[in-house]
Amino acid sequence: MIPLRWDDRPVGLRDPALVCAFTGWTDAGDSASSAVGVISRRLDAQRCATVDPELLYTMQSYRPHIAVEDGVASGLEWPTVELRAAVVPSAGRDLILVTGPEPAMRWRSLSETLVETAKSLGARVVVTLGGLLSDVPHTRPVPITAIATDTGLVEPLGAMLPDYEGPTGLTGVVHVEAQKQGLDAVTLLAHVPHYVAGVPSPKATLALVEAVERLTAVPIPTARLRAASERYEQQVTEAVERDPERRELLERLEQMADLRDVIGDEDGDDELTEAAAEGQIQLNMGELPSGDVIADDFLEYLRAHEQPEDDGEDHEDERPGDGPPF
């Protein structure tokens, strides 16, 4: 167990769900950390506890941020995992939100602390969020992969249920710890196009927020995030349209996505390739530009089309969450 630094321990939370996301390895497109940040802002969640950063981080990797004004240090911000409580009178339950950089150490102890704290506050379900880089097009709905102690919990989401054995992030450790302690556990992973890996993806963030909303039955306003998602899709499309090879890559990814919708993900890549061959669809992408090339082109495009700072729009939902996967 790792001790928490309580600002104000919440009391009277109604059947809260613990929702976690961490920046780092399984946060492609900042999708998961941004999702928890959006939920926190929209539900006016209040910080209730933090973890001593010296218990979790090596400062060479996660350096504190200093603020200097006119040559005088005015503030110091340390990396940390923080807990926020969102009281939602319009819903049948409240939320406990956890965000922060994925720690360098003490994953097991931190996971035990988070799950036991959630249980002490009345939680019966733990939801962890992540983002994965995948061969998916930005023009199609964001696929969600789900892992659950009870697959019936995620059936309404239409999520893919994977087979996997290999490395995991902190969200995987939290998921297993919740299962170990007898709580329902769900991990939701949004698939982010590999060719825009270095760009925050409000579209993937929106998919995760909507999945949390359906899973927990807690309404979350998403108008701004939806608008950001539409701008993102339009800007990526414009960047891709600038080059015929990039358009070809997008078209092939769209064909693969459409075939998966027809065949079903459970039939696997072999069935997908066979179906593509029968339809005379060329899936060989070896001669097409890499995802890194397209991502660089997209970043260049965004810089060239960057809006002035005083455009009057609120872009907060395009940034990572307040704290700053399986």
What does pTM read for this prediction? Answer: 0.82
CA dist., res. 192 & res. 161, Å (int) = 17
Range 235-256 average pLDDT: 82
If pLDDT is split at 50, 70 and 90, which confidence band does 322 have? Answer: very low
**Which residue ranges form the domains of the chain, and what is each CATH number?**
4-222 (3.40.50.10900), 228-304 (no CATH)
The one-letter amino acid at 134: S
Helices H / strands E in the chain, number of each: 8, 10
pLDDT score for 274: 45
Residue 281 pLDDT > 60: no
For 209-229, what is each residue's pLDDT tens digit? 999 999 999 999 999 999 999
* CA nearest neighbour of 137 among 188, 195, 197, 201: 195
Mean of pLDDT over the chain: 83
Mean pLDDT for 193-217 is 93
In the prediction, which pLDDT does 198 show?
A: 80
